[in-house]
A and B are shown apart, each in its own frame.
Chain A
């Protein structure tokens, strides 16, 4: 594994007649922020779910180190009966977080992502989409993951929260954490990522360092993404 936390080799996945992934290979480097880009239906979520063990590939393998993994889904869902507080309590119990330290941890973490703690007494499924996303960030930050996988990191978030979350990723990187962000919002990710993986129709088109790509192409990530897309369309 070396410097990589995750390595995937020739991942393929079909949903009936539809080929969602076709021999996808890539790696996630330790201590980096990696942007996993692709249009809607490109295979981003399928790839993430295979990495996390929610889906099984038809062929290919994923090599994972022993790093603790966190996951923020595109649209987080919670047990309909559970309050935010209960969800955090369960998470703390699972990861053996000292319950006496928990209120302090929640307070600090809530401030980092702009989550209103007063909501914790309410059922998490009644939160707005943005607050559900924040709740998921909060849950993940409590467990201090070494690799944080985020599907559409900014879904439902207001501009202030987007800024907070972006800063959070940079802080986590400084702490030595690895972040894997899947999105189709290229401009937001370009501000923070170092590594880029572009996927289209279930195939990895590009995997490289962003600086290097910029130097060789002399253009921004969005232009690179669109030109790759255009090239494929025109054959």
Chain B
């Protein structure tokens, strides 16, 4: 019933919420400022590379306060969300946020691309990296969306970032013991099962590694991760009750 109009409504609601959220706009502007800084301090090429590594975070930042805040607040107990429409709204948020973050990122990427085409510094691999970053962005939305069923007030984003910092710090401090794994990481080859498991775990925490050339063949891990967390979200939404 009303499938098309329902999606239009959900799109309108998600877009408006995002545009009226000062936190989301401020945090989303940070990567943009960082890229601008690199552009001015270094070169267009470095800025483009920096952007390609950083832009999946836009997807993550867009997914703040995705579920729990609205579920607990009681606003879903409205006539527009009757007949299970609130379940569709919650699940479709993933797709809508993805589209909005993609459009925002693509506009920056294509601006930088056009600028780098003129001096002839653009490499086609950047386009691949952009697509890889988009997949990682989808993973971030799926993961952060699932976390937001349990943590409110943007804590879902903080958890992901703290997890990444912890992983990087622990890699750094155990460099001696992990030389084998770091070597595999650098080469982009993981010959044994343990190394493959370690890579999978690392990708679950810091998927941005997959944007680099030597790890791009492992992008399917981000797709699998996104699928897993979307499935978990779907399962949670299917059993959800509005108990307020």
Contacts and interface: CB of A to CB of B under 8 A. Distances in A.
Do A and B bind? yes
Interface of A: 15, 49, 52-56, 69-73, 75-82, 86, 90-91, 93-96, 136, 139-140, 143, 145
B79 interface: yes
B83 A53 contact: yes
Contacts, number: 77
Interface of B: 2, 5-6, 8-9, 12-13, 16-17, 20-21, 73-80, 82-84, 86, 239, 241-243
A94 B75 contact: no
A78 B80 CA distance: 11
B228 to A, nearest CB: 25
Contacts of A52: 82
A96 B13 contact: no
A55 B84 CA distance: 10
Contacts of B17: 79, 81
Contacts of A70: 79
A79 B75 CA distance: 6
A95 B8 CA distance: 11
A72 B82 CA distance: 11
Contacts of B2: 94-96
A139 B79 contact: yes
Given A53-B82, A143-B79, A77 B243 contact: no
Nearest to A13: B241
B83 A86 contact: no
Nearest to A74: B77
B206 to A, nearest CB: 33
Nearest to A75: B74
Contacts of A91: 79-80
A81 B82 contact: no
17 contacts: A49-B242, A54-B77, A56-B239, A69-B83, A71-B82, A77-B73, A77-B74, A77-B75, A79-B75, A81-B21, A86-B16, A90-B9, A94-B2, A94-B6, A94-B8, A96-B5, A139-B78
A152 to B, nearest CB: 13
Given A78-B78, A79-B17, A53 B5 contact: no
A78 B242 contact: no
Contacts of B80: 90-91, 94, 139
A93 B5 CA distance: 6
B79 A55 contact: no
A160 B239 CA distance: 42
Contacts of A71: 77-79, 82
Given A49-B242, A54-B241, A77-B74, A93 B9 contact: yes
Contacts of B5: 93-96
A143 B8 CA distance: 17
Contacts of A54: 76-77, 86, 241-242
A56 B16 CA distance: 30
A169 B241 CA distance: 29
Nearest to B20: A81
A79 B13 contact: yes
Nearest to B19: A81
Nearest to B11: A93
Contacts of B84: 53
Nearest to A79: B75
A132 B242 CA distance: 20
A78 B75 contact: yes
